[in-house]
A and B are shown apart, each in its own frame.
Chain A
């Protein structure tokens, strides 16, 4: 009896490690597996964005993957900038001088754009959102959250 117990312990440990490995793999699958969502056909987008202290208008924009996007940045009070996360895309506009630039939206997800020219106290928080294609990460986050709840509940049961 006494001799067996280290073996059982070892087995239990092995079981636990297998479970953790499976769980981690499952997490990776949820986070990274490609979802078969058809891309909408790419189009030309002309987006006029007005920048004022401390607001972009529109501040939430949705486009499709592959779209050829032209941004017209119009400043309405002081000099503002437009810098898009994840893309090397930056504009700077004085009031009265619209600044334009284009890029191809080849990365999907939600990207923040922010003012890149200091424009007052709240400048660091002057932010807008550009959603390119579906926001898969949000859905992955939700599924991962459900998994977290289930695993949490199971983790207690197995202990008893």
Chain B
């Protein structure tokens, strides 16, 4: 496959190699993170006039899905402020490791490995989303809890255990980063094989060994390996989208679960936030009420039983259509690759409806971040109700078709025959049709 190694350009190589540019960006995101928490706690109770709501749920959440992941894989993780304080303590230094860090550096328990907890966290986002999405206070409290939790865990466990196993957004970006166009790989495997020290593995906050990297799911693009490699043997490649998929790549059952949770979440979010059913919205919002328990029950049943059941059925049929009989469990993991392009494009299409309409809220909260009646840049109170345009509807139709094309292609690539791919394609088609109906029907 074609790859373009960015480190061959001296300027890019310098930018990536130096710790300063990344450090400065992370210093800004950390300050922004703290500012967001303060805005959420001190600012207006009215969501549309609170920086925390608009910047987390409109600006950042949109940028993540429309920009960071599709064009940079886990690029957000490389500038995410959440693990910063913990990492300083682990490293004993802010700019670079000093070797005098503190922390117990325990290994993350084996039973909790994989994406299971992240998928669970994402289910929580879906269950409590209507409240967190609209309450600046709750948003701030969650952000605060996350950064404190990340700090505590980094004192107990080694490296970025929080990012690897707990962070729901880490699960989201990791899953879809497999489809992204950026990867960190070694230039020459032979050089690594002869190098006994593994400086890169020791330096990697994510616990990855670059020579063994086959998937970008767990690489946070932090560039530490690049910086410590004594032989300059690390490449940062631009690659075709979807390069991590293939008939031989290894995938786990928890990836399949995470992928299915994401699909269920995008359907439920579309129905709750973009649908015309007011009672559903109220049920999702009034946490603890009887309608909410019904909503939660249906949501969990859909996400844990219906959708996985449907997926499992199509995998079972596909398995029987194949030339070689794999174990069912192995097939469930193997075919989960199909869920990645399908889900990524589905989230992008959802975001077009969800966020484009609300973009006029962004300038006013820069002008008056706390809703205290400021007018810093003269744009306070300029938000309007917004509308979906004909363009955005067509854009969504094209996006969803593209997603179906991509998922079908992956399904065919990882199957023995067209016949084997068809059940999976049917699964994707039904999912896409449901989302199409929710978004433009």
Contacts and interface: CB of A to CB of B under 8 A. Distances in A.
B413 A125 contact: no
B331 interface: no
Contact of A149 (B274, B389, B425): B425
A156 B413 contact: yes
B276 A128 contact: yes
Q: Chain A's interface: helix, strand, loop or mixed, by majority?
A: mixed
A49 to B, nearest CB: 12
A145 interface: yes
Interface string A137-160: 110111011011101110111000
Given A83-B385, A121-B47, A141-B440, A147 B401 contact: yes
A160 B135 CA distance: 54
A124 interface: yes
A116 interface: yes
A149 B388 contact: no
Given A121-B135, A141-B440, A142-B433, A148 B404 contact: yes
Given A56-B276, A81-B385, A125-B272, A137 B405 contact: no
Contacts of A99: none
A96 to B, nearest CB: 21
Contacts of A142: 433, 436
Interface string B119-161: 0000000000010001100000000000000000000000000
Contacts of B282: 53-55, 122
B418 interface: yes
Contacts of A122: 130, 134, 281-282, 285
Interface string A34-76: 0000000000000000001111110110000000000000000
A109 B278 contact: no
Given A54-B281, A124-B358, A135 B387 contact: no
A132 interface: no
Contact of B48 (A118, A140, A144, A148): A118
Interface string B403-422: 01111110111000010010
A50 to B, nearest CB: 11
A129 B401 contact: no
A31 interface: yes
Interface in B274-299: 274-279, 281-282, 285
A9 to B, nearest CB: 15
A142 B387 CA distance: 24
Contacts of A55: 277-279, 281-282
B401 A145 contact: yes
**Size class of the A contact interface (CB-based, 8 Å):** 35 or more
A56 B276 CA distance: 8
Which of A112, A123, A157 has its CB near the most chain B CB atoms (within 10 A)?
A112
B390 A109 contact: yes
A110 B441 CA distance: 7
B9 interface: no
Contact of A109 (B393, B407, B432): B393
A116 B279 CA distance: 19
B310 interface: no
B397 A140 contact: yes
B429 interface: yes
Contact of A114 (B135, B385, B400, B402): B385
Contacts of B389: 85-86
A158 to B, nearest CB: 12
Nearest to B439: A141
Contacts of A53: 278, 282
A153 B412 contact: yes
A85 B387 contact: yes
A149 B405 contact: yes
Contacts of A137: 393-394, 397, 440
A127 interface: yes
A149 B408 contact: yes
Contact of B408 (A54, A114, A148): A148
Contacts of B393: 109, 137
Contacts of B275: 127
Contacts of B46: 118
B273 interface: yes
Contacts of B440: 110, 135, 137-138, 141
B5 to A, nearest CB: 25
A90 to B, nearest CB: 8
A122 B398 CA distance: 29
A86 B47 CA distance: 26
11 contacts: A53-B278, A54-B281, A56-B278, A57-B278, A115-B385, A122-B282, A127-B276, A145-B429, A145-B433, A149-B425, A153-B418
Interface of B: 46-48, 130, 134-135, 272-279, 281-282, 285, 358, 385-390, 393-394, 397-398, 400-402, 404-409, 411-413, 418, 421, 425, 429, 432-433, 436-437, 440-441
Given A31-B397, A121-B135, 8 more contacts: A55-B278, A59-B278, A114-B387, A122-B281, A124-B134, A145-B401, A147-B401, A152-B425
